[in-house]
Structure 1
Amino acid sequence: MVDEFLKWYFSQRPVLASQLGADGHDHTLGDFSAAGLTAREREEECWLDRLSRTETPTLDDAIDRDLVLSHLRGSIAMQSWPEWRRDPSAYLGPVFASMFNPFQQRLKPEPELVAAAISRLAEVPAVLAACRANLDPDLAAPLLVQRGLGQARTGRNFLTRTVPSMVEDPDLRARLAAAAEPAAAAFDDLVTFLEGFTCGGTWRMGEKLYSTLLRERELLGYGAAELHEKGRAAWAELDARMREVALRVNGTQDWRAAMETLMDDHPPTLEDMRAEYEAETLRARDFVRERELVTFPEGEECQVLPSAEYARPILAVAHYLAPPPLSSSRTGVFFVPYTPDGFTPEQVRQRLRTNCRAQMPSIAVHEAYPGHHWHLSYLAAGSRTARKVFRTPYFTEGWALYVEKMLHEQGYFDTPATELAHLDCRIFRAARIVVDTALHCEDMSIEQAEEFMATRASLSPGTAQGEVNRYCAWPTQAPSYLTGAIEIERIKESFTGTPREFHDRIAGSGGLPLGLAEQAALA
């Protein structure tokens, strides 16, 4: 039954299917019409009913079924908060990913990649027309529309210059650039539409739906109010620890001032930042291997590259592109957070400051070894298809923050500066819990949230603004880091075995909701 569901699921989301490495989906973007999206919602309800009545012969089968059920319950709950009526990114994200990722990952010969891209380019005008038709002025929020507008403005250059530049063969490159022109014109039309689009909806999700997602999709035993208090308690505990460490950095308990000093020691340029991250990534890999903390999958490789042009207006932090788990590839990409082309020298400097040398060890551990890259390349070698398809950030981001603390305990952050920066990365995630829950439960304004992130974590005002903008657009994701890390640490206390056995067991089980991860780890 799960296999049958996955076949249907891929047919409805061909861009995601090809990103995962599933064959047969790379020539289309899918149906983004209101009729198609509404029909998909009704079919999800039917699948939930069918799978809920399915018996399973083994614990692994039960975990797979319950994983799919948690995803469906979350998706059905979100029908009351339809992204496709509220947010242009529901249309822009698949277009950008379908063009960029295949050429970045290169799972097929270049002529096949170009043929697939040309086929998808022909569908871009219809997808963007659906965006214009489906956005509801009463539901769409101005903040989300402006965020989408920033992405849409990169569309023409991205399609006509950036993507063709990734093609080596000059004839194929020329064909692709020519095929991109109608799609680029559609992006121009969308930009004009969004610039004049008037809307009055809210980006605030509300406590009821937020708590429903925590309980039914993430399988946590608490809702938004409890999570908010957990975030405040974690922040207070970390604040006390950081005051002690700050004494060894600048002789005072003012850890914010200490971090401000550390942030002045940063790479001089964006490319220098990328090169230093690459060196730190290799150092982390060697450390993890020497300590035998995890089992390395055969053939894994982590590239360290500038962030994609289309992601720069909406992502101000490092991020990761996993190897397609349904393919044989084990190559992932750690994207270093370059600034958009229009940033001023001062804005670039602030981005470099929030990627200072003291912070780089924690960020490289989080994104690469043994964080996202190790986890997702190791997961890709597993045999349970459903677990390669459905992952929750409450595990994947929780895992990446968990290993930061684990490497601290192993002695990786071996100076007062890197230890303070490690704790700063963790208190930043505690602040995220407080702010995200408060924003979406109507307890905090955007301005208050930006001030909180700039004063309760070591973020520049510009980075704090970008972070809060992301929280408004992606409710429940920001708390996943520290929430998941705390839950994994709790599960570890009940595990009998070596650290490597625990890490291989729980991370190899997938990116499961924490309740299912506990079953898989302790079975």
Structure 2
Amino acid sequence: MDEFLKWYFSDRPVVASSLGADGYDHTLGDFTAASWTAREREEVRWLERLSAAEAASPDDAIDRDLVLSQLRGSIALASWPQWRRDPAVYLSAIFTSMYTPFQHRLKPEPELVTAAISRLAEVPGVLAACQANLDPDLAAPLLVKRGLSQARTGRNLLTGTIPGMVEDAELRTRLAAAAEPAARAFDELVTFLEGFECGGTWRMGERLYSTLLREREMLGYGAAELHEKGRAAWAELDARMRRVAVGVNGDEDWRAAMEFLMDDHPPTLADMRAECEAETRRAREFVRERDLVSFPDGEECQVLPSAEHNRPVLSVAHYLAPPPLSSSRTGVFFVPYTPDYFTPEQVRQRLRTNARAQMPSIAVHEVYPGHHWHLSHMAGNPRTVRKVFRTPYFTEGWALYVEKVLHEQGYFDTPATELAHLDFRLFRAARIVVDTALHCDDLPIEEAETFMATKASLSPGTAQGEVNRYCAWPTQAPSYLTGAIEIDRIRESWQGSLKDFHDRIAGSGGLPLGLAEQVALS
């Protein structure tokens, strides 16, 4: 396993650095076509080698099977090469490598700047590989347009935002000067993508989608059954919301009730951030008072505006975990700010989908005892591989599962906050229905957007952003409710306290649900 991780980190230095591994923060790595195909061959070799390895202990067996699940998923995706389809593969690596170190600040500022300058020198090469590798027969216009919106933020991010995070004036000047060639490369990429004509599809297809569910996520079913689970969950939640809506507006029309509640929102983006921070503190205190989990030493969560490069593509709150291979336990809850070019009406709609009734659920999901608590607690696991590989079917499932736990504990103590809590859960059921229909059937994008805007209480603009994300990230959207249901099912067989269950299953990592069940109930 140590040998495998050494290869894995060397092959993916940006991933290694973001995890907190030492020695990888001066390079972006090799993004040429030759490197991608060599990686695919090595993954097959590692799958064969690890499949033949005998585990010396149950923990070793879990580690091995975790890596095997990741390898099987990656090898299956070789038939769907994102590096030929999607500019985001290249852009995300650059943005993560430049922004995250200055956000975490695990090293002295001079070292951060030196590493950033070294990586900036490699940016033109990475973006040249992007242009060379994108295949017009495979790349989808939707994904290229999405990448273009991110690429347009590149110049300002590298020459303005990142240097602006440097406190020392001389270092700031050096970094800004070093960023200019990289910024010109971004300008060239923008021009390239604006003129890039392609005709590929973003639809993954049922066969690969189901393979990923069974092989990578270790679920016992494929896309068709998952789709039906989503429909059944939506219908059950719809019935519950009709009953709760009576306490909000006097009748069972929960859509009208949610529209009414969404009009009570913070007046500005800055106020939204401040109110999210206050709700985060309240959630932490509630979880501590109820003794629902054990808090790791030194954990802390900052509540900040979302990063500039994410604003065009992420319309919801999200979280940046502390690097699990470091000693840091400080995470960041990003509040979903809008791009600067948004109209006042678009900003208002973003504020409406972060209304005051919704903030308790958002804070629980993103911070306590959701993502931040889980990933801070998980970082204390001594098994290195558990901190390297995790699946959204556990991590996102966990965050939605604990929303239900806090509902059971009385945290959502008004009809308004209870309805909003159920609405978020119903929204995740709608995601299952839409994601599977988009990628495994022929659901048109416009119908998917209408479904999300009418079957969940999303504004049309937010529904559009959501569906755009599903097209770019197949199988991720169903992870929330699917994982939550599976964790709840595992809990039914647990013999012991709720706190002990939470500490054990969440502390084991972000495992595929089949492995998480083995750890929890062994």
Establish whether TM, by shorter chain, passes 0.5.
yes
1:442 is aligned to 2:449: no
Q: CA deviation at 1:443?
A: 3.4
Letter in 1 for 2:187: D
- Return the alpha-carbon distance in structure 2 between the equivalents of residues 225 and 163 of structure 1: 45
- Return the alpha-carbon distance in structure 2 between the equivalents of residues 253 and 4 of structure 1: 59
String of CA shifts for 1:37-73, please: whole Å, max 9, x gaps: 1101100000000000000011110000000000000
Structure-to-structure mapping, 1:338-357, within 5 angstroms: 338-357=337-356
Find runs of 4+ consecutive structure 1 residues off by over 6 angstroms.
Answer: none
Alignment partner of 1:304: what SS?
A: strand
Q: Where does residue 180 of structure 1 map in the other structure? A: 179
Alignment partner of 2:325: what SS?
A: coil
Paired residues, number: 522
1:112 is aligned to 2:122: no
Structure-to-structure mapping, 1:62-211, within 5 angstroms: 62-211=61-210
Structure-to-structure mapping, 1:374-453, within 5 angstroms: 374-453=373-452
String of CA shifts for 1:307-347, please: whole Å, max 9, x gaps: 00000010000000000000000000000000011000000
Letter in 2 for 1:479: P
Letter in 1 for 2:278: A
- Return the alpha-carbon distance in structure 2 between the equivalents of residues 299 and 55 of structure 1: 37
Alignment partner of 2:413: what SS?
A: coil
Q: Where does residue 474 of structure 2 map in the other structure? A: 475
- Return the alpha-carbon distance in structure 1 between the equivalents of residues 378 and 442 of structure 2: 38
Q: CA deviation at 1:3?
A: 1.3
Q: Where does residue 315 of structure 1 map in the other structure? A: 314
Letter in 2 for 1:117: A
Q: CA deviation at 1:459?
A: 0.1
Q: Where does residue 11 of structure 1 map in the other structure? A: 10
- Return the alpha-carbon distance in structure 1 between the equivalents of residues 317 and 229 of structure 2: 25
String of CA shifts for 1:413-435, please: whole Å, max 9, x gaps: 00000000000000000000000
Alignment partner of 2:298: what SS?
A: coil
Q: Where does residue 48 of structure 1 map in the other structure? A: 47
String of CA shifts for 1:252-286, please: whole Å, max 9, x gaps: 10000000000000000000000000000000000
- Return the alpha-carbon distance in structure 2 between the equivalents of residues 434 and 522 of structure 1: 31
- Return the alpha-carbon distance in structure 2 between the equivalents of residues 40 and 425 of structure 1: 39
String of CA shifts for 1:106-126, please: whole Å, max 9, x gaps: 000000000000000000000
- Return the alpha-carbon distance in structure 2 between the equivalents of residues 210 and 56 of structure 1: 30
- Return the alpha-carbon distance in structure 2 between the equivalents of residues 456 and 312 of structure 1: 25
Letter in 1 for 2:422: L
- Return the alpha-carbon distance in structure 1 between the equivalents of residues 68 and 118 of structure 2: 33
String of CA shifts for 1:227-248, please: whole Å, max 9, x gaps: 0000000000000000000001
- Return the alpha-carbon distance in structure 2 between the equivalents of residues 215 and 97 of structure 1: 29
- Return the alpha-carbon distance in structure 2 between the equivalents of residues 88 and 23 of structure 1: 28
- Return the alpha-carbon distance in structure 1 between the equivalents of residues 519 and 371 of structure 2: 19
- Return the alpha-carbon distance in structure 2 between the equivalents of residues 251 and 58 of structure 1: 59
Q: Where does residue 290 of structure 1 map in the other structure? A: 289
- Return the alpha-carbon distance in structure 1 between the equivalents of residues 296 and 6 of structure 2: 27
Structure-to-structure mapping, 1:292-307, within 5 angstroms: 292-307=291-306
- Return the alpha-carbon distance in structure 1 between the equivalents of residues 57 and 414 of structure 2: 48
- Return the alpha-carbon distance in structure 1 between the equivalents of residues 505 and 57 of structure 2: 18
- Return the alpha-carbon distance in structure 2 between the equivalents of residues 185 and 144 of structure 1: 22
- Return the alpha-carbon distance in structure 2 between the equivalents of residues 392 and 266 of structure 1: 33
- Return the alpha-carbon distance in structure 2 between the equivalents of residues 57 and 407 of structure 1: 39
Q: CA deviation at 1:78?
A: 0.2
Alignment partner of 1:305: what SS?
A: strand
Q: CA deviation at 1:444?
A: 0.9
Alignment partner of 1:240: what SS?
A: helix
CA-based RMSD: 0.3
Q: CA deviation at 1:442?
A: 2.2
Deviates more, 1:416-425 or 1:435-444: 435-444
- Return the alpha-carbon distance in structure 1 between the equivalents of residues 203 and 76 of structure 2: 15
- Return the alpha-carbon distance in structure 2 between the equivalents of residues 522 and 272 of structure 1: 44
Q: Where does residue 241 of structure 2 map in the other structure? A: 242
Alignment partner of 2:339: what SS?
A: coil
- Return the alpha-carbon distance in structure 2 between the equivalents of residues 496 and 362 of structure 1: 28
- Return the alpha-carbon distance in structure 1 between the equivalents of residues 222 and 363 of structure 2: 32
Q: Where does residue 507 of structure 1 map in the other structure? A: 506
Q: CA deviation at 1:361?
A: 0.1
Alignment partner of 1:147: what SS?
A: helix
Letter in 2 for 1:153: R
- Return the alpha-carbon distance in structure 2 between the equivalents of residues 79 and 381 of structure 1: 33
- Return the alpha-carbon distance in structure 2 between the equivalents of residues 215 and 381 of structure 1: 29
Alignment partner of 1:428: what SS?
A: helix
Letter in 1 for 2:101: P
- Return the alpha-carbon distance in structure 1 between the equivalents of residues 443 and 32 of structure 2: 35
- Return the alpha-carbon distance in structure 1 between the equivalents of residues 496 and 515 of structure 2: 20
Q: Where does residue 272 of structure 1 map in the other structure? A: 271
Letter in 2 for 1:452: F
Letter in 2 for 1:5: F
Letter in 1 for 2:404: K
Letter in 2 for 1:151: Q
- Return the alpha-carbon distance in structure 2 between the equivalents of residues 400 and 391 of structure 1: 14
- Return the alpha-carbon distance in structure 2 between the equivalents of residues 60 and 294 of structure 1: 23
Q: Where does residue 520 of structure 1 map in the other structure? A: 519
String of CA shifts for 1:432-476, please: whole Å, max 9, x gaps: 000000000123110000000000000000000000000000000
Q: Where does residue 227 of structure 2 map in the other structure? A: 228
Letter in 2 for 1:331: T
- Return the alpha-carbon distance in structure 1 between the equivalents of residues 7 and 272 of structure 2: 43
Letter in 2 for 1:215: R
Letter in 1 for 2:492: E
Alignment partner of 1:302: what SS?
A: strand
Letter in 1 for 2:21: A
- Return the alpha-carbon distance in structure 1 between the equivalents of residues 2 and 337 of structure 2: 40
Alignment partner of 1:200: what SS?
A: coil
